[in-house]
């Protein structure tokens, strides 16, 4: 067998390995090298693909060591929470979670590690580097080696902060709606009770001389009943049970009147700043309710600045359009009037902020507040189709931003003033009073009979229709309760109107003019009176409709 030919020395004095091997082996070597190079290329391509995949996922991918320290984080960690890798790797995951969640999260981690158990959709808050908590829905599974032993934990966390905020807003809205329904029902029943107290007190007072020894007592009863009626009015305002007298309103004029009131009532150490947009849109609403809402906010601001400060009121126009992000747009698309009231007072804690619009919630000392002020504000603004947003931090003051729908094409008309104390003529007509409350029926009868009217009584809608069919020629007016069991006010009115299309009706309710009342008023009801009422109010309304 021939001896191999020694290789001629090259420039380096040696030959490459592939040059010293037989041709067959040389070919196999070259193929192996090419496969290896191809594998490296495929591996790099695969790594690049998975790296791109990881970086494109909007969630945080993480890996934990057996002791709970962080071994790996995806790039989304920094984008969402703000920490660099060096600030995270090697640290325990509970270092980034609020203390009150530690016990629960350690238990979950042990279940994954010790029991090889996967967990899904665990809600967990993480602390941002510079900012508030963010909430995540996390899923995790044990990381196993080739022998099936647990060597760590892999997981993914999806940011659900915005969704959680929307969920909390929905729950808050549902809670406020439930409380509003309860408050409205209570206020309605109280108004029925107060109708008897206030009505009979004013009726008896009219019969007495000022020198009568009981006059002072009756006057005190009337005054107390009036104060109680004001409280129920605030409850109805929170419960969004309607606007009383709707008309075009210039909010700038409203605030100018408000500032005159504030200058007389707030501490001189409080600086009042007002910036009014001269081109401000008009709105449509109840002037008294809206002014009371602004007063309540300002008085709360005054109480938050016992040592003085600044109360600022600003008006401007704002348009909400499709271009505004849904998360930022607080109302429907359209033009709005924005009123911002801000103070430099003590501010509020998160706990107080979460309850501030609930009725009977107050941070004031006993006897200094009912806790109905801001709840009434909330209900009134909502009932005017607007929104109210609160921003407050402890020690950094408080700001309320109100948006009210602008009313295009409206003009302020000067109303004709007339004296409400004018002498009304005595009556002689026949009036049918329909109410399921016996006390209300008797009160109405006593007041109107004393003024000369003839009275018929019905305790429900069905009875009222029977009486009206028999005596429609004699009955000049029907006083109809809105809320009754069985046949309600609306159904009763429509049946009465079918008998006589020109029937005159005065609607009465312990609620204010809500949507249901508004619908009946459009159908042709002559007027509305809210319980409780004084005798002169009832007589005045009756005479107004009869003379119309």
Q: How many CB atoms lie within 10 A of CB 541?
A: 20
Same structural domain for residues 320 and 390?
A: yes
- Asked if residue 346 belongs to a domain, the reply is yes
Q: Does residue 67 contact residue 93 with C-beta atoms inside 8 Å?
A: no
SS3 per residue for 310-335 = EEEEEEEEEEECCCCCCCCCCCCCEE
The residue out of 56, 78, 99 marking a domain boundary is 56
* Pair of tokens at residue 246: 């709707």
Query: What is the tally of structural domains in the chain?
Result: 5
Q: What percent of the chain has pLDDT over 70?
A: 76
Q: What percent of the chain has pLDDT over 90?
A: 31
Q: What is the domain-level CATH number for residue 128?
A: 3.30.450.20
Q: Is residue 323's pLDDT more than 70?
A: no
Q: What is the domain-level CATH number for residue 399?
A: 3.30.565.10
Q: Is residue 327's pLDDT more than 50?
A: no
The mean pLDDT value for 216-220 works out to: 87
DSSP assignments along 128-183, one per residue:
-TTSSEEEEEEEEEEEE-TTS-EEEEEEEEEE-HHHHHHHHHHHHHHHHHHHHHHH
Q: Is residue 86's pLDDT more than 50?
A: yes
Q: Is residue 239's pLDDT more than 70?
A: no
The mean pLDDT value for 504-517 works out to: 72
CA distances in angstroms from 181 to 104, 308, 509, 532, listed in the order given: 38, 38, 16, 20
Same structural domain for residues 445 and 525?
A: yes
The residue out of 102, 125, 159 marking a domain boundary is 159
Q: What is the strand order of the sheet 398-405 is part of?
A: 270-275, 309-320, 334-343, 398-405, 387-392
- The number of CA neighbours under 13 Å toward the Cβ of 364 is 19
pLDDT at 31: 65
- Asked if residue 424 belongs to a domain, the reply is no
**Pairwise pLDDT comparison (251 vs 522), residue with the higher score:** 251
Same structural domain for residues 204 and 321?
A: no
- Asked if residue 144 belongs to a domain, the reply is yes
pLDDT at 48: 58
Quick one: DSSP state of residue 94? G
pLDDT digits 0-9 by tens, 455-464:
999 999 999 9
Q: Is residue 417's pLDDT more than 50?
A: no
User: Is 535 exposed, middle or buried, given 0-12, 13-18 or 19+ CB atoms closer than 10 A?
Assistant: buried
Q: Is the pTM of this model over 0.75?
A: no
Q: What is the domain-level CATH number for residue 542?
A: 3.40.50.2300
Q: Is residue 197's pLDDT more than 80?
A: yes
Of 224-238, 293-307, 323-337, the range with the highest mean pLDDT is 293-307
Confidence bin at 353 (pLDDT 50/70/90)? confident
Same structural domain for residues 364 and 509?
A: no
Same structural domain for residues 255 and 393?
A: yes
Q: Is residue 313's pLDDT more than 90?
A: yes
Same structural domain for residues 133 and 255?
A: no
Q: Is residue 437's pLDDT more than 70?
A: yes
* Pair of tokens at residue 234: 């605030």
User: Average per-residue pLDDT in the chain?
Assistant: 80
Q: What is the strand order of the sheet 150-159 is part of?
A: 70-73, 60-64, 150-159, 133-144, 119-127
C-alpha–C-alpha distance, residues 94 and 108, integer Å = 12
Same structural domain for residues 297 and 376?
A: yes
pLDDT at 416: 37
- Asked if residue 413 belongs to a domain, the reply is no
Q: Is residue 7's pLDDT more than 90?
A: no
- Asked if residue 143 belongs to a domain, the reply is yes
The residue out of 159, 193, 221 marking a domain boundary is 159
- Out of 17-21, 130-134, 330-334, which region has the weakest mean confidence (pLDDT)? 17-21
User: Is 460 exposed, middle or buried, given 0-12, 13-18 or 19+ CB atoms closer than 10 A?
Assistant: middle
Q: Is residue 324's pLDDT more than 70?
A: no
- Asked if residue 141 belongs to a domain, the reply is yes
Same structural domain for residues 76 and 184?
A: no
pLDDT digits 0-9 by tens, 379-389:
888 888 899 99
Q: Is residue 222's pLDDT more than 60?
A: yes
pLDDT at 520: 73
pLDDT at 316: 94
pLDDT at 139: 92
- The number of CA neighbours under 13 Å toward the Cβ of 529 is 28
The mean pLDDT value for 117-130 works out to: 90
C-alpha–C-alpha distance, residues 239 and 236, integer Å = 5
Same structural domain for residues 152 and 200?
A: no
Same structural domain for residues 256 and 357?
A: yes
Phi, psi of 451 (to 5 degrees): -95, 5
DSSP assignments along 210-230, one per residue:
TTSTTHHHHHHHHHHHHHHHH
The mean pLDDT value for 201-205 works out to: 87
SS3 per residue for 478-498 = EEEECCCCCCCHHHHHHHHHH
Confidence bin at 420 (pLDDT 50/70/90)? very low
- Asked if residue 410 belongs to a domain, the reply is no
Same structural domain for residues 275 and 359?
A: yes
Full residue range of the structural domain in which residue 142 is found: 58-159
- The number of CA neighbours under 13 Å toward the Cβ of 212 is 13
pLDDT digits 0-9 by tens, 241-288:
555 567 789 999 999 988 888 887 788 899 999 999 999 999 988 887
Confidence bin at 418 (pLDDT 50/70/90)? very low
Q: Is residue 240's pLDDT more than 80?
A: no
Same structural domain for residues 281 and 363?
A: yes
pLDDT at 18: 47
pLDDT at 466: 94
Q: Does residue 122 contact residue 158 with C-beta atoms inside 8 Å?
A: no
**Pairwise pLDDT comparison (28 vs 479), residue with the higher score:** 479
Confidence bin at 421 (pLDDT 50/70/90)? very low
Of 176-185, 195-204, 305-314, 479-488, the range with the highest mean pLDDT is 305-314
- Asked if residue 348 belongs to a domain, the reply is yes
């Amino acid at each position: 067998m021939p001896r191999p030919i020694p290789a001629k020395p090259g420039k380096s004095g040696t030959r490459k390995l592939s040059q010293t091997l037989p041709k067959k082996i040389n070919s196999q070597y070259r193929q192996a090298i090419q496969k290896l190079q191809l594998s490296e290329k495929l591996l790099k391509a695969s790594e690049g693909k998975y790296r791109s995949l990881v970086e494109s996922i909007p969630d945080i991918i993480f890996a934990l060591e057996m002791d709970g320290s962080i071994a790996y984080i995806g790039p989304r960690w920094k984008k969402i929470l703000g920490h660099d890798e060096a600030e995270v790797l090697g640290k325990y995951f509970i270092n980034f979670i609020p203390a009150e969640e530690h016990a629960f999260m350690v238990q979950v981690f042990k279940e994954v590690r010790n029991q090889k158990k996967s967990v899904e959709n665990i809600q967990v808050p993480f602390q941002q580097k510079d900012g508030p908590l963010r909430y995540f829905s996390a899923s995790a599974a044990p990381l196993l080696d080739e022998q099936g032993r647990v060597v760590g934990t892999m997981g993914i966390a999806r940011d659900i902060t915005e969704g959680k905020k929307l969920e909390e807003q929905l729950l808050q809205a549902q809670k406020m709606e439930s409380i509003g329904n309860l408050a409205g029902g209570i206020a309605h029943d109280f108004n029925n009770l107060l109708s008897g107290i206030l009505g009979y007190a004013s009726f008896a007072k009219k019969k007495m001389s000022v020198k009568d020894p009981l006059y002072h007592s009756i006057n005190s009863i009337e005054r107390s009943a009036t104060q109680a009626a004001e409280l129920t009015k605030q409850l109805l305002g929170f419960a969004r049970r309607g606007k009383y007298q709707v008309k075009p309103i210039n909010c700038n004029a409203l605030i100018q009147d408000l500032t005159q009131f504030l200058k007389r009532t707030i501490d001189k150490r409080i600086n009042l700043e007002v910036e009014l947009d001269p081109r401000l849109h008009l709105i449509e609403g109840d002037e008294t309710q809206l002014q009371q809402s602004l007063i309540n906010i300002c008085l709360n601001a005054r109480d938050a600045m016992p040592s003085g400060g600044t109360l600022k009121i600003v008006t401007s126009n704002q348009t909400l359009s499709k271009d505004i992000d849904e998360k930022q747009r607080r109302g429907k698309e359209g033009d709005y009037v924005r009123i911002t009231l801000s103070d430099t007072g003590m501010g509020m804690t998160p706990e107080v902020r979460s309850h501030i619009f609930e009725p009977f919630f107050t941070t004031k000392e006993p006897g200094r507040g009912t806790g109905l002020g801001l709840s009434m504000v909330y209900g009134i603004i909502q009932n005017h189709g607007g929104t109210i947003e609160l921003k407050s931090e402890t020690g950094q003051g408080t700001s309320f931003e109100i948006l009210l729908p602008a009313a295009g094409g409206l003009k302020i008309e000067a109303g004709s003033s007339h004296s409400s104390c004018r002498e009304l003529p005595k009556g002689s007509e026949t009036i049918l009073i329909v109410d399921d409350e016996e006390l209300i029926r008797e009160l109405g009868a006593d007041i109107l009979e004393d003024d000369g009217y003839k009275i018929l009584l019905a305790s429900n809608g069905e009875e009222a229709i029977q009486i009206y069919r028999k005596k429609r020629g004699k009955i000049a007016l029907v006083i109809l309760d809105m809320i009754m069991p069985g046949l309600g006010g609306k159904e009763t009115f429509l049946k009465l109107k079918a008998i006589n299309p020109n029937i005159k009706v005065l609607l009465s309710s312990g609620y204010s003019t809500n949507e249901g009342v508004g619908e009946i008023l459009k159908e042709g009801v002559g007027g509305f009176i809210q319980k409780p009422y004084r005798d002169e109010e009832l007589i005045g309304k009756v005479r107004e409709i009869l003379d119309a």
